[in-house]
Amino acid sequence: METTKACVSIRHVSKQFGKQQVLKEISLEIMEGEIFGLLGPSGAGKTTLVKQLAGLDTPTSGENFLLQEKMPSLKLIEKVGYMAQSDALYGELSAKENLQFFSALYGLKGKQQQQRIEEVMKLVHLSDHLHKLVSNYSGGMKRRLSLAIALLHEPEILILDEPTVGIDPVLRKSIWEAFNELKNKGTTLIVTTHVMDEAEKCDRLGMIRDGRLIAVGTPEELKQKTNSATIEAAFLVYGGA
What pLDDT was estimated at residue 197?
86
Domain CATH number, residue 184: 3.40.50.300
Structural domain includes residue 124? yes
Element (H, E) at 206: strand 204-209
What pLDDT was estimated at residue 241?
56
Structural domain includes residue 143? yes
Q: Which three-class secondary structure state does DSSP give residue 38?
A: strand
CA distances from 187 to 45, 69, 110, 176 (A): 24, 17, 25, 14
What pLDDT was estimated at residue 148?
93
Question: With 0-12 CB in 10 A as exposed, 13-18 as middle and 19+ as buried, what is 188?
Answer: buried
Structural domain includes residue 45? yes
| Bridge partners (DSSP) listed for residue 69 | 66
Q: Which of 25, 29, 32, 27 is nearest to 5 (CA)?
A: 32
Structural domain includes residue 107? yes
Dist CA 48 CA 68 (whole Å): 21
Dist CA 137 CA 49 (whole Å): 29
What stretches in the chain show pLDDT beneath 50? 1-2
Dist CA 85 CA 48 (whole Å): 11
CB–CB of 239/209 below 8 Å?
yes
Number of domains in the chain: 1
What pLDDT was estimated at residue 3?
59
What pLDDT was estimated at residue 1?
46
Cα angle vertex 68, ends 66, 71, to 5°?
45
Structural domain includes residue 48? yes
Q: Which three-class secondary structure state does DSSP give residue 23?
A: strand
Structural domain includes residue 22? yes
* Mean of the per-residue pLDDT values of the chain: 92
Structural domain includes residue 47? yes
Structural domain includes residue 1? no
Dist CA 195 CA 209 (whole Å): 15
User: Which domain range does residue 168 map to?
Assistant: 6-238
